[in-house]
């Protein structure tokens, strides 16, 4: 894993081999951030099901004001924390080692940009999107990046407007906007 653009361009990030975490491929990450243009700059971001923190750290490299990582696996939390320290972004980053649903219920913070990349074989999409809306964690407007496995496209609530959908091999991306 590496940062592909911004102030940390080319910096390698820590990770480990596992079949439970699939970091977003550079090609997909680059395409997503190209679609976002400069949107992360100055924004408050949320990386749900953060894995090793790949997407959130890319957002910080591209100028995000804050990034909150939510990851339940303690080993992955250690890697995220190591990557935060490696880049020296302790002031911009917050790490929550807990279940995504519990975080959403207790957070109260509103976000401009949310990355949602849950385990593909679980049905977390519907519950996560509904909870983000119910507990009002989305600023008006906000952008959501939803990553999914091909042929496993999640249902998007009507409160969100799909801006773009694109498949990159076995990975699909939905960019949706919340407009309050």
What confidence tens digit (pLDDT) does each residue in 87-117 have? 999 999 999 999 999 999 999 999 999 999 9
pTM for the whole thing? 0.94
Q: Hey, what CATH topology would domain 26-178 get?
A: Rossmann fold (3.40.50)
**Tell me, what's the pLDDT at 169?**
87
What confidence tens digit (pLDDT) does each residue in 2-48 have? 999 999 999 999 987 766 666 677 888 898 998 888 889 999 999 99
Q: Give the chain as a 3 state SS string.
A: CECCCCCCCCCECCCCCCCCCCCCCHHHHHHHHHHHCCCCCCCEEEEECCCCCHHHHHHHHCCCCEEEEECCCHHHHHHHHHHHHHHCCCCCEEEECCCHHHHHHHHCCCEEEEEECCCCCCCHHHHHHHHHHHCCCEEEEEEEEEEEECCCCCCCCCCEEEEEEEEECCEEEEEEEECC
């Amino acid at each position: 894993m590496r940062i592909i653009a911004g102030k940390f361009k080319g910096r390698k990030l820590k990770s480990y081999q596992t079949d439970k975490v699939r970091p977003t491929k550079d090609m997909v990450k680059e395409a997503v951030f190209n679609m976002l243009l400069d949107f992360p700059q100055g924004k408050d971001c949320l990386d749900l099901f953060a894995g090793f923190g790949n997407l959130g750290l890319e957002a910080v490299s591209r100028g995000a004001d804050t990034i909150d990582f939510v990851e339940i696996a303690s080993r992955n939390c250690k890697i995220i924390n190591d990557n935060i320290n490696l880049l020296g972004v302790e002031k911009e980053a917050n790490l929550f080692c807990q279940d995504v649903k519990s975080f959403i219920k207790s957070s109260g913070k509103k976000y401009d940009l949310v990355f949602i990349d849950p385990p593909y074989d679980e049905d977390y999409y519907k519950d996560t999107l509904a909870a983000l809306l119910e507990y009002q964690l989305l600023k008006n407007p906000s952008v959501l990046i939803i990553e999914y496995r091909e042929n496993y496209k999640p249902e998007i609530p009507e409160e969100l407007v799909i801006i773009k959908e694109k498949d990159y091999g076995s990975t699909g991306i939905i960019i949706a906007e919340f407009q309050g």
